[in-house]
Structure 1
Amino acid sequence: MDRLCIACGLDWSAIAAWVQAIGSIIAIGVAIAVPARQHKKDQERTKEEKKRRAQALSLSLLPVLYKLRASVQHFITEQTAKEPEALVGKDEHDGNFFSHAPELRSYLAIAPDLDEFQELFSKLIASMLQSEEMLNFTTRMQRGGYHSSWINNLEFFIEHANNLNTKNNELIRSIENAHGL
């Protein structure tokens, strides 16, 4: 070993310094790598928890969406069908899809947690609020003496109901597909 040191032109103190330098570099690398790896694991865990929360919240939203769908479809059928007798017992709200607005609005607080479903839910809520505003406007007009306001705006309500139904069905399909239903 002494001959190797002499051949390389190094003495024992120089070798010790090199070993210490290499050891320090390895220690710095470990000091950087371990926290970075832990941070990556924490991010993956957080992402997975967020996904599970979104899945659970979306499942809790499904019954409300099913009720809304029944009411909207009842309303559309009631307003466009020639035989409304076929509607008996189809919807507990008798086609009053506006009655679902308060419950849907209560879900706005959790909308950011819906993750992949948030955009579809936001579009549904916006459509619902727009329809609700149309109803409020029509009601104000009727109270102000324009009694045929509902009849004159019925086509708009049917159009909004169809739009709402489309958005609701899209959200329902998205949630069902995500859960393999």
Structure 2
Amino acid sequence: MIEFKHHTADTLADVRQTVLDIHAEVRHRDFGLTAPFYDVERFDERLTAYASRPGWSAVLGYEDGAAVGFAFGMPLGPDTRWWRSMTTPLPAGYTDETGTRTVALNEIVVRKQWRGRGVAQRIHQAWLERRTEERVTLLVNPAAGNGAVQAVYEAWGYAKVGEQQPFADSPVFASMTRPVRIP
């Protein structure tokens, strides 16, 4: 059985190394992502930046004491840069943020031995259950798993709204959204 532990920026220090270790294991060893964008140091810089935003939260899943994966993100405030790197235009008002409209799922990562068992979806739901925003957005590399990762998000109710490249050395991601609560 998977146990979930929720964290805020105040308790990030307690789990930072676990998050970094899982990132390195999955991104580097499992998926062979070795470009500078995926370096642990760069990931840690992004983690620090995300956690510095109001409302950042994370959930880690554990089975028999072993960390199996994590998800984290933060609400998009009125000053967000989230939508600025869109390469496709969005409808008027779509990118208007208030701090309570949209939460960004920055990362969701599950270790190999727990993949294919619905663990990612449970971590995702455990993270969302404490969110109060209207919608959730995420970025996915459409090439990941030859499109299989994006298909998983579509099965979870996400729809692609466009593409963006948030960093000069990052992939071009599919930008996806869905309501936080799906009836």
Shorter-chain TM-score category? under 0.3
Structure with greater proportional strand content: 2
Q: Mark the structure with the bigger radius of gyration.
A: 1
Higher relative contact order (CA 8 A, sep 6+): 1
TM-score, normalization by structure 2: 0.24
Structure with greater proportional helix content: 1
